[in-house]
């Protein structure tokens, strides 16, 4: 028997200490509800859990951002809706003024209301705000410009229109390469009066350089008399551009020369449309699309070791226009028949600059997970109606035409906002689902199983009581030595 070292007591104390530590951890987990309260509990699990927590909180804030973005777009679209209402009223007034039952004084009164509506459109453009940020004054638009005012080298009819709001502010260059020499294409969309295919009708070479619109032309053959007929040409906007009576059918002549089906040089030209008049056999309506096909390449100016040069950012595509419109590289270009190709072998092309003021909505938890939205300026100048007048019949009819174009422009802006709103609603749904799944995954890693912890706590509590009792018994063992000393 030994009295200097009570091994049984030391063993009981060690077990009691371990049980108390385990009980302490059980109490900590039960009181916090977490399986991992410190890195020592599960180092790898803590690292994974903290990354998931960053994502979860980021997803929640991204959802709020998307909701705020929808609110901003709804504010913009609501203002545009009122502009739409005013444009419709202005068009209604223009239709009224086009009627010659109105006197000059009547038209003057109509013009007064139109002028006031134009002022209100400008007012809405300047005053519409969200959180003090102006929305329709152009400060959130993506703008384009040419180096030398409006002097496009390829004879664009308007400034390039940016469709992809993610294009960064920079200088760009569009190269146009002709395909097989002749870039102009003809497609007969409605045959009639003996004209049946593209070999019998096309845009004349003289009209190509005359800024003719691309699109679908309508050729009206009327008052057919066997050897002559009245030919009227309507342009893609439905406006009459030519109206002539010519000889038609077999034996037809033009400029004192017989029309030869095999020689297009002898064919008559009306309104820039050249056709084989000898094939016309009666009245009818012919529709023909005049477009162009070319290869397009978009380049962006970049700085490399202090040297500025253009580098291709959108691969070359061979495209056919639609109503003279080409969409390439996130930009829309409008051309007419005077379009010019560029020399792609040299440093040549249509240079323009994009200034991107689009709004960025952070709709994801990580860097650059955003959606860009540009809101164009909505004043009367942008809508193309600063000078519309209804003071006479011709002016009123022109006002109807200009207002139709303004309404189309507004339709385009509103539909873009509506499309982005719908996208954002799907984004919110996805964020909510992702947030739910990530929270579930993080919970499995970090949260405590309360039933299991309570079971462990009960076990350790009993062991604590048992170890305490055994430690008391072990401390009594050395007293047995006293019996030997009596």
Residue-wise pLDDT for 221-274, tens only, equals 888 888 888 889 888 888 888 888 888 877 777 766 777 777 777 788 888 888
> Does the pLDDT at position 457 exceed 90?
no
Neighbour count for residue 482 (Cβ, 10 Å): 9
Average pLDDT of the residues in 370-381: 91
Residues 6+ apart with CB under 8 A from 481: 1, 3
Backbone angles phi, psi at 440, to 5 degrees: -65, -45
Q: How many CB atoms lie within 10 A of CB 437?
A: 10
pLDDT at position 390 is: 92
Which contacts qualify for 98-103: CB closer than 8 Å, 24 or more apart?
98/390, 98/393, 98/396, 98/397, 98/400, 100/393
Residue 410 reports pLDDT greater than 90 = yes
pLDDT of 437 above 90: yes
Per-residue model confidence (pLDDT) at position 84: 93
**Mean of all residue pLDDT scores within the chain:** 85
Beta carbons within 8 Å of 88's beta carbon, 6+ residues apart: 407
DSSP character at residue 225: -
Q: What per-residue confidence (pLDDT) applies to 256?
A: 66
pLDDT digits (tens, 9 = 90+) for 18-65: 888 888 888 888 888 888 888 888 888 889 988 999 999 999 999 999
**Is the whole-model pTM more than 0.75?**
yes
Identify the residue with better confidence: 485 or 160.
160
**Structural contact between residues 28 and 37, judged by C-beta atoms closer than 8 angstroms:** yes
Domains of the chain: 34-140+363-447 (1.20.1330.10), 142-356 (no CATH)
Which residues are CB-neighbours of 26 under 8 A, at least 6 positions away?
453, 456, 457, 460
Q: What is the pLDDT of residue 316?
A: 86
CA dihedral 467, 468, 474, 480 (to 10 degrees): -150
Lowest mean pLDDT among 23-32, 60-69, 284-293, 345-354: 345-354
Mean pLDDT of 150-165: 80
Helices assigned H by DSSP within 33-103: 43-97
Q: Residue 346's pLDDT is what?
A: 57
Retrieve residue 246's tokens.
């010519």
Tally the residues of the chain: 486
pLDDT (average), residues 302-330: 84
Residue 377 has pLDDT above 60, yes or no: yes
Quick one: what percent of the chain has pLDDT higher than 70? 95
């Amino acid at each position: 028997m030994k009295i200097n070292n009570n091994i049984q007591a030391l063993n009981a104390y060690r077990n009691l200490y371990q049980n108390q530590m385990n009980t302490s951890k059980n109490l900590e987990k039960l009181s916090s509800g977490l399986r991992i309260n410190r890195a020592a509990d599960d180092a790898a699990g803590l690292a994974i859990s903290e990354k998931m927590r960053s994502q979860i909180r980021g997803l929640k804030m991204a959802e709020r951002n998307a909701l705020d973005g929808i609110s901003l777009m709804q504010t913009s679209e609501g203002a545009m809706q009122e502009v739409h209402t005013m444009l419709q009223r202005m068009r209604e007034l223009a239709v009224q003024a086009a009627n010659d039952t109105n006197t000059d004084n009547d038209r003057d009164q109509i013009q007064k209301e139109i002028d006031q509506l134009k002022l209100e459109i400008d007012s809405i453009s300047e005053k519409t705000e969200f959180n003090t940020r102006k929305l329709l004054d152009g400060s959130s638009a993506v703008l384009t410009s040419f180096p030398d005012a409006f002097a496009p080298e390829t004879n664009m009819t308007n400034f390039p229109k940016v469709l992809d709001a993610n294009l960064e502010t920079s200088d760009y260059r569009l190269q146009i390469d002709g395909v097989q020499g002749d870039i102009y294409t003809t497609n007969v969309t409605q045959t009639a009066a003996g004209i049946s295919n593209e070999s019998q009708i096309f845009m004349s070479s003289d009209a190509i350089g005359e800024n003719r619109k691309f699109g679908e032309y309508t050729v009206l053959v009327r008052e057919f008399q066997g050897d002559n007929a009245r030919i009227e040409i309507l342009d893609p906007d439905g406006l009459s551009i030519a109206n002539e009576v010519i000889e038609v059918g077999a034996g037809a002549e033009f400029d004192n020369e017989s029309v030869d089906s095999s020689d297009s040089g002898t064919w008559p030209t009306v309104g820039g449309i050249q056709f084989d008049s000898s094939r016309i056999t009666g009245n009818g309506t012919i529709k023909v699309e005049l477009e162009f096909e070319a290869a397009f390449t978009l380049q962006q100016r970049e700085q490399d070791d202090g040297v500025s040069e253009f580098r291709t950012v959108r691969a070359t595509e061979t495209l056919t226009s639609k109503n003279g419109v080409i969409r390439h590289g996130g930009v829309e270009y409008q051309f007419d028949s005077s379009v010019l190709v560029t020399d792609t072998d040299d440093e040549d092309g249509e240079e323009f600059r994009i200034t991107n003021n689009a709004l960025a909505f952070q709709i994801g938890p990580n860097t650059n997970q955003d959606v860009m939205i540009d809101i164009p300026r909505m004043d009367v100048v942008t809508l193309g109606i600063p000078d519309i007048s209804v003071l006479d019949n011709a002016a009123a009819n022109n006002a109807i035409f200009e207002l139709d174009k303004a309404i189309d422009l507004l339709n385009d802006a509103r539909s873009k906002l509506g499309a982005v709103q719908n996208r954002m609603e799907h984004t919110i749904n996805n964020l909510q689902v992702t947030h739910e799944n990530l929270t579930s995954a993080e919970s499995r890693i970090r949260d405590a199983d309360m039933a299991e912890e309570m079971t462990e706590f009960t076990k350790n509590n009993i062991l604590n009581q048992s170890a305490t009792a055994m430690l008391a018994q072990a401390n009594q063992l050395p007293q047995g030595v006293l019996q030997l000393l009596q």
